[in-house]
Amino acid sequence: MKEQGYKFDLVFTSILSRSIQTAWLVLEAMGQEWVPVVKSWRLNERHYGSLIGLNRAEMALQHGEEKVKLWRRSYDITPPPIDESHPYFLEIYNDRRYTTCDVAKENLPRAESLKEVLDRLLPYWDSTVVPEIKNGRTVLVSAHGNSCRALLKHLEGISDVDIASVTLPTGIPVLLELDENLKPVKPRQLLGDQAKIQAAIKKVEEQGKAKQTAT
């Protein structure tokens, strides 16, 4: 992004540490540490419910690869919700960063489909991010795989079926240029070495496969 001369006016992140730290690293690398950063839980990663704490291979071993693929990639299928017996329940719902959210703690999701991610993201996008873009500002959104996929689905008009095949590898900038009606003026670009990008996409896609152990 620095090599291509991008200059940001505003940065939007989730309230999760990896999103915020990614924004810091980007701004530092580009010499734009002074650019304002705005945080919102509505850009958070998807809530995986009772699957939280399991990596993709562990999910596949416990539930089967097909069911996990359905939970992970389908647009409107929600995984099993988290409940009070889950080892991460108190850590999540007693986290003080949620005391400043525009939603009561008791109304925070217990699990989300990609559709539900888009449902909670869109009000923030429309009310906070869109006005900045319409005012001519160049913005950076530092979010997560699923919140970014949900946003791309909305902006690019990707169908409920086709969104399952959209993979965004970690740490690869996605460039999307929008017209005055917030419609893409050309296909999205993944910035960087294209061979490395394809290898990163393949790595993400293979993470959902259960590892087999010979006996």
pLDDT along the chain (215 residues), means of 10: 93 97 97 97 96 87 86 91 95 91 89 98 97 95 96 97 91 92 93 88 67 38
Residue listed under structure tokens 């400043």: 100
How open is the CA angle 146-42-40, to the nearest 5 degrees? 120
Residues 180, 2, 136: CA angle, nearest 5 degrees = 20
Per domain, the residue ranges of the chain are 10-206
Q: What stretch of H or E contains 139? A: strand 139-142
CATH superfamily of the 10-206 domain: Phosphoglycerate mutase-like (3.40.50.1240)
pLDDT of residue 68: 86
The secondary structure element, H or E, covering residue 190 is strand 189-190
Cα 162 to Cα 75: distance, rounded to the nearest angstrom:
9
Smallest CA-to-CA distance from 124 within 136, 139, 106 is with 139
The pLDDT score that the predictor gives to residue 204 is 73
